[in-house]
Structure 1
Amino acid sequence: MTVDRWRALGFGAAVHVLRFGAIMGAFAFAPLLGISGWHLGLAVNFACVLLAVVLVTVRGQWRASGLFSLWRGRAAALFLVPFVVEVLLWAVPSGLVERPPGFGLWALTLLLVGLNEELISRVVVLERMRRSFGPAGAVALTGALFGLQHLSALATTARTADDVLLNVLVSACYGIGLAAFQYRFRWVLPLVLVHAAADFTTILSVNPLPDAVVAITCVAFLATAAVILRPFLTGRLPSAAAEPQAGTS
């Protein structure tokens, strides 16, 4: 592997470590300001959003992110369907349960999670990987790093190791699907929304999905990624460019 590719991998890992540092720093500093309870989680996610905004700004990636684009065409909208279906699977038919401190604060917090994770992983890290790897490599490595970042739950939650490792695997598959979409369309806005919605329904679902269904969704995410990237892999689209885009970016 070339030096440039090692540097790309090192950069991606460093960005996720930096985000973990922001999380731990906020956990340590926020209580000194009198922030506690539920608001501590909000403070941590605000810190991560701030980090993401700084990184995207410094690297000049707002235009490439597509965060301010309202439409990228029917093909892009169609490829969002599997992610929307996964959101609905957690909510239908059992529904959602309103847990403290209520739907509103859960929605706000998880929107911040979706915003910072998408900007950091699918914009900052993926754009760097795009420069050094082909489509499949860039997407797979971005997804893998996204999955591995969830090891932070070992330090920030009381979850068991096997539960965290399963979450790492599921998150990696999910991250590969999202990274493929962003690689092709450079439209992170809907990814922020479906990511936040997925977290919302997953956490507040009355009945969690059976493991077999979760496994099927993982396969579906990987299959979706393969279909999204197919034009690049068959030479119909240049690997360094996104599909023709509609709207502003």
Structure 2
Amino acid sequence: MNHDRWRAIGFGLGVHFLRFGVIMGALALAPLLGISGWYLGLAANVACVVFAVVLVSVRGLWRRAGLFALWRGRTALLLLLPFVIEVLLWAVPGGLVERPPGFGLWALTLLMVGLNEELISRVVVLERMRESCGPVGAVALTGALFGLQHLSAFATSNRTVDDVLLNVVVSACYGIGLAAFQYRFRWVLPLVLVHGGADFTTILSANPLPDAVVVITCVAFVATAALTLRPLLGSRRNSSDDVDPRVIHSTY
């Protein structure tokens, strides 16, 4: 592994550590402003969104992020289907349970989770990895770092060790799938929506999915990543041909 790849990994780790620091700082400062209980999480997510927006702005990545793009073609929509199906699996057939402070505020805060995590991981970190690694390396490293960031649950929750570690693995597989989509299409808008939707139905599900189904979804995410990247890998193998890379990317 060359030095620039190590620098890219260090950059990714640093960004995720900074996000963790923002969370802990917000949780420490919010009570001084009279914020308590469930709303501490909302305050932390507001802080993370601000952090993500600053990062994307400083690195000049808004145009490459695709946050405001409304269409990237039918292929992109088809490759989103496994993520949409996963959102629905947690809600059907048992439905969702409304918990305080209600569906509306849960939807708001989890949409902010999707926004800040997608901007940080699938835009800032992935774009840095793209500079130093091929498609597979960039996607795998971005997904792995995204999974590892969920170790923060040890500091922010009372979840058991096995539950947190399982979440790290599942999140890494999920992150690989989303990173592959973003690498190919640079269209983070639907990723924000499916990510927020997945968190919403997962947390408020009346009947959690069996472990076997969770394993199947993880395999599906990684398989979708491989399918998503396949045209890019083919173009790299045929790089000796006289093909303008701008033409390759414009067809996706």
TM-score by length of 2: 0.95
Post-superposition shift, 1:35? 1.0
Q: Would you say 1:233 and 2:239 are equivalent positions?
A: no
Equivalences for residues 92-131 of structure 1 within 5 A? 92-131=92-131
Q: Which amino acid is the alignment partner of residue 42 of structure 1?
A: L
Q: Distance in 1 between matches of 2:54 and 2:251?
A: 25
Post-superposition shift, 1:244? 2.0
1:201 alignment counterpart: 201
Q: Distance in 1 between matches of 2:34 and 2:115?
A: 25
Equivalences for residues 135-146 of structure 1 within 5 A? 135-146=135-146
Q: Which amino acid is the alignment partner of residue 84 of structure 1?
A: V
Q: Would you say 1:154 and 2:154 are equivalent positions?
A: yes
Secondary structure of the residue aligned to 1:100 is coil
Aligned residue pairs total: 245
Q: Which amino acid is the alignment partner of residue 161 of structure 1?
A: V
Q: Distance in 2 between matches of 1:74 and 1:208?
A: 31
Task: Output one character per residue of 1:148-193: Cα deviation in whole Å (capped at 9) or x when no partner.
Answer: 0000000000001110000000000000000000000000000000
Superposition misfits of 4+ residues, deviation over 3 angstroms:
240-243
Q: Which amino acid is the alignment partner of residue 163 of structure 2?
A: D
Q: Distance in 2 between matches of 1:56 and 1:5?
A: 21
Q: Would you say 1:243 and 2:246 are equivalent positions?
A: no
Q: Distance in 2 between matches of 1:11 and 1:37?
A: 33
Q: Distance in 1 between matches of 2:86 and 2:28?
A: 35
TM-score by length of 1: 0.96
1:87–1:198 contact (8 Å) kept in structure 2: yes
Most deviating of 229-238 and 130-139: 229-238
Task: Output one character per residue of 1:212-239: Cα deviation in whole Å (capped at 9) or x when no partner.
Answer: 000000000000000000011112798x
Runs of 5+ unmatched residues, structure 2: 240-244
1:110–1:199 contact (8 Å) kept in structure 2: yes
Q: CA RMSD of the aligned region, Å?
A: 1.5
Q: Distance in 2 between matches of 1:46 and 1:36?
A: 15
1:58 alignment counterpart: 58
Q: Which amino acid is the alignment partner of residue 67 of structure 1?
A: L
2:212 alignment counterpart: 212
2:14 alignment counterpart: 14
Post-superposition shift, 1:243? 3.2
1:139–1:179 contact (8 Å) kept in structure 2: yes
Most deviating of 179-188 and 38-47: 38-47
Q: Which amino acid is the alignment partner of residue 91 of structure 1?
A: A
Distance 1:245 1:232, change over 3 A: closer
2:176 alignment counterpart: 176
Q: Distance in 1 between matches of 2:91 and 2:42?
A: 24
Q: Which amino acid is the alignment partner of residue 235 of structure 1?
A: S
Q: Distance in 1 between matches of 2:232 and 2:70?
A: 24
1:148–1:172 contact (8 Å) kept in structure 2: yes
Runs of 5+ unmatched residues, structure 1: none
Task: Output one character per residue of 1:64-100: Cα deviation in whole Å (capped at 9) or x when no partner.
Answer: 0000001111111111101000000000111101011
Q: Which amino acid is the alignment partner of residue 110 of structure 2?
A: L
Post-superposition shift, 1:49? 0.3
1:12–1:145 contact (8 Å) kept in structure 2: yes
1:73–1:245 contact (8 Å) kept in structure 2: no
Post-superposition shift, 1:210? 0.1
1:39 alignment counterpart: 39
Q: Which amino acid is the alignment partner of residue 127 of structure 2?
A: E
